[in-house]
Structure 1
Amino acid sequence: MTATAASPAIRKSLGEREMIVLMALLMSLQAFGIDAMLPALGEMANDFGAEGNDRQQVIGAYFIGSGIGALFPGMFADRFGRRPVLAVCLVAYISLSVACALATSFDMLIAMRLVQGFSCAGLSVVPAAIVRDQVGGDRMARLMSLIMMIFLIVPIIAPAIGQVILIFAGWQAIFYAMAFVGTLVAAWVWLRLPETLTEETRQKIDLSTVTANMGQALFNRQAIGYVIGSGLVFGSLFGFLNSSQQLIGEAFGMGNYFAVIFGGAVLGMVAANFLNSRIVERFGARRVSHTALFLFIGASLLQLWSANQPDQTIWQFVPLMSFNMAMLGFVGANFSSIAMQPFFHIAGAASSVHAALRMTLGAVLGVTIGAAYDGTTVPLAMSMLICSLLTLVIVLFSERGKLFTRPNAS
């Protein structure tokens, strides 16, 4: 049997566990492209003469590019299939990682990061559409939690990987590592991932169809509160990512332990996603995520109180931040799954427009919060409280004032 003939047969054997791991790895490429950079921001700033908070643009530009770029992959994935869109995104990820390593100025690096985020946005959009092609309801929330649990291993280890690379090879080698990992994942996708788009759900690419599909996904009352809510709460997390190197390394003077402290904070999200995968089908995505949102608000109040105490220590900050990140573990997968429920027939378009709104809102908030960094944790704590309260308001709008319900529980 030829390789060409064998490939489709091989791809048909993809099971649920392998699908979960592969979807997580696709999404993890984005996380690796962000979190592995964090220890190197100071050295990049020194090499290019960037001042103050300007170093945060290496992260912020990628976030903004991803948010804008997420608007487009879904409609192409609904027309041409999931695999071709992933192939384009993976090639862009690999080639632009090399381009970033070869940048000769800070402006060129930021421009390449912006283009990379835009071109690779499908790595965040298409996996959700692939999952929605196959399952729905609370089962989708369970699978997304397992995907997120594996995905979150990367933010734990990526700063450590970046720090080790930085010691032995310099910050450019981090981008070469991104290209290498991207190549491995691309090979896995090519050999194993089947096409999940069916002929019945294939959509046309014309202005009226695209506008109707995106409008349907964007203006559905049940979904929109959860999309905006995700953007708000994760915007506060992006604010932490943007300023974490300065906050942990400089304000608290723990630069040598940055990777360990940052990874420890993310562990809560991993544990939360694992627990969510075990309980969400029993209690329902709404009940779990609404409870987590209230706990997030309470922890944000404590975070703000702690931030305003004189001589706040790293050991006062990290446990509260870790708890907040754990609550986001319950919020993220569940909010995304709830928002996707009405859109089986246009899963790609819905995933795309939701991701675009969520990422753009989160990126803008993250850049704004990061720019407000003043050497203390006060701006971050204040933003977390405000964003979580606004999330509660917009979720109440989507649910018509009724929380903790479980529609279509059967």
Structure 2
Amino acid sequence: MMASLMSLNALAIDIMLPALGLISDDFALPSVNDRQWTITSYIYGMAMGSILYGSLADRFGRKPVLLVTIGIYTLFGILCALAWDYELLLIGRFIQGLAASAMGVLANSIIRDRYDGDAMARSMSTIMMVFMIVPITAPLLGQLVLHIAPWKAIFLVLSTAGLATFLWVMTRLPETLHPDDKTPIRARSVASAWHGVIFNRNSFGHVIASGLMMAPLFAYIASAQQIFFDIFGAGDIFVYIFALSAGAMSIASFTNSRIVMRFGARRVSQSALIFFILVSIIHFALAEAGGLNLWSFTAVLVPSMAMVGFTGANFSSIAMQPFGRTAGVASSFQNFARSGLSSVIGAAIGLQFDGTVLPLATGFMVCGIASLAFIFWAEKGKLFRRVQTGVTASDLVPHS
């Protein structure tokens, strides 16, 4: 169920990719890069909404907040299908993302209600493994919809998925927040929780590092249609190559769920980050020399995406480790900081598209190096260490 909640976001982003060219043509957009706003407006909504839901969930419980936000997601999917101009479409996408940001925040909170430490990282990796099936299949689903219906029907698919998830949560999800842990919404307590995230060096460093790793991923998603259609002329196989890169992330998440308890979230994620940087340097050098074709681009893209799969769940789990009773507010603020940073940087990279892959390759390399710098700062220069949290490999039962 947690994977399904998080998948609503991936579905809303990736199912649109085959339709971006048609949307641009139908609305006669003046710039070829304007089509990216169909993606980035949703991501901006996700980033801004993240700040709202932690306090609400800590006050009213996880389930009521989820039901309201899934309902908004569903209704605004219908509005997008009815949009008669591009501005209205972008407003609908922004509000849909604003509501959908609750899925990631509350999924993290629900998991933190149940697990801790490396056990949480393992649970997150398992969820990410299931979740990553959606980016693999979503563009294929979008392409299938376009074969039988206009592009606006894609939004009706999103609303149908939202309705199905709403019914599942309503009938099957128990409330994971203990009644004794409900906290009133007080500006001072919220500010105190935010202060705890910002001034916890290790937590804040991993939040920023995670945002920097997500930024080139968002840039790739926003510009992928242009890269494969306009640069490589590979529109007929675009959805399959996109599925290959998403599949690499899914396999990495599965592998992470199997090894993280043995090696620890820090060792796995830091090793993956260093490998990501090495591949990104090769990517940049080939792009600068003009030596990339469709297959060499794919050859450097796929391992880069795999390394993102190793870092995402681990960085998030490490950042959440210091927070128990205030998990909702902490998760909310962390998602806000992470998504805000990644959406702004990712959009900036994507909008630099100039008919080559050099802006994207540069973004991958710079973001990777900056992410490592923040991890080095967060860990006080001590990489590859393992911090014991008191949770063993056999201690994976939910907290009562």
Matched, 1:61 2:6: no
SS at match of 2:183: coil
Q: Which residue of 2 aligns with 1:188?
A: 168
Q: Which residue of 2 aligns with 1:268?
A: 248
Supply the distance in 1 between the matched residues of 2:291 and 2:388 (Cα, whole angstroms): 50
Tell me the TM-score normalised to structure 1 length: 0.94
Structure 1 regions of 5+ residues with no counterpart? 1-21
CA contact (8 A) 1:235 1:366 kept: yes
Supply the distance in 2 between the matched residues of 1:185 and 1:87 (Cα, whole angstroms): 9
Q: Which residue of 2 aligns with 1:38?
A: 17
SS at match of 2:242: helix
CA contact (8 A) 1:252 1:314 kept: yes
Bigger drift between 33-42 and 199-208 goes to 199-208
Report how many aligned residue pairs link the two structures.
Answer: 389
Q: Which residue of 1 aligns with 2:194?
A: 214
Counterpart selection for 2:124 from 129, 141, 144: 144
CA contact (8 A) 2:8 2:162 kept: yes
CA displacement at 1:118 relative to structure 2 = 1.1
Counterpart selection for 1:163 from 143, 147, 165: 143
Q: Which residue of 1 aligns with 2:339?
A: 359
Q: Which residue of 2 aligns with 1:4?
A: none
SS at match of 1:77: helix
Q: Which residue of 1 aligns with 2:8?
A: 29
Bigger drift between 29-38 and 199-208 goes to 199-208
Superposition RMSD on alpha carbons, in Å?
A: 0.9
CA displacement at 1:217 relative to structure 2 = 2.1
CA contact (8 A) 1:218 1:350 kept: no
CA contact (8 A) 1:29 1:182 kept: yes
Q: Which residue of 2 aligns with 1:403?
A: 383
1:336 counterpart letter in structure 2: S
CA displacement at 1:105 relative to structure 2 = 0.3
Return structure 1 stretches of 4+ with deviation > 6 angstroms.
Answer: none
CA displacement at 1:311 relative to structure 2 = 5.2
2:131 counterpart letter in structure 1: F
Supply the distance in 2 between the matched residues of 1:70 and 1:391 (Cα, whole angstroms): 21
Q: What is the CA deviation profile of residues 202-256 of structure 1, one whole-angstrom value per residue up to 9, with x for unaligned ones?
A: 1110111111112212321110011000111110110101100000111110111
Supply the distance in 1 between the matched residues of 2:66 and 2:318 (Cα, whole angstroms): 24
Q: Which residue of 2 aligns with 1:305?
A: 285
Counterpart mapping for 1:119-138 below 5 A: 119-138=99-118
Supply the distance in 2 between the matched residues of 1:376 and 1:226 (Cα, whole angstroms): 31
CA contact (8 A) 2:210 2:371 kept: yes
Q: Which residue of 1 aligns with 2:55?
A: 75
Supply the distance in 2 between the matched residues of 1:405 and 1:153 (Cα, whole angstroms): 32
SS at match of 1:256: coil
Q: Which residue of 2 aligns with 1:9?
A: none
Counterpart mapping for 1:196-275 below 5 A: 196-275=176-255
CA contact (8 A) 1:26 1:124 kept: yes
Supply the distance in 1 between the matched residues of 2:308 and 2:72 (Cα, whole angstroms): 29
CA displacement at 1:188 relative to structure 2 = 0.9
CA contact (8 A) 2:211 2:338 kept: yes
Supply the distance in 1 between the matched residues of 2:53 and 2:16 (Cα, whole angstroms): 25
Supply the distance in 2 between the matched residues of 1:185 and 1:30 (Cα, whole angstroms): 12
Structure 2 regions of 5+ residues with no counterpart? 391-400
Q: Which residue of 1 aligns with 2:261?
A: 281
SS at match of 2:51: coil
Tell me the TM-score normalised to structure 2 length: 0.96
Q: Which residue of 2 aligns with 1:329?
A: 309
CA displacement at 1:409 relative to structure 2 = 5.5
Supply the distance in 2 between the matched residues of 1:227 and 1:154 (Cα, whole angstroms): 24
CA contact (8 A) 1:218 1:353 kept: no
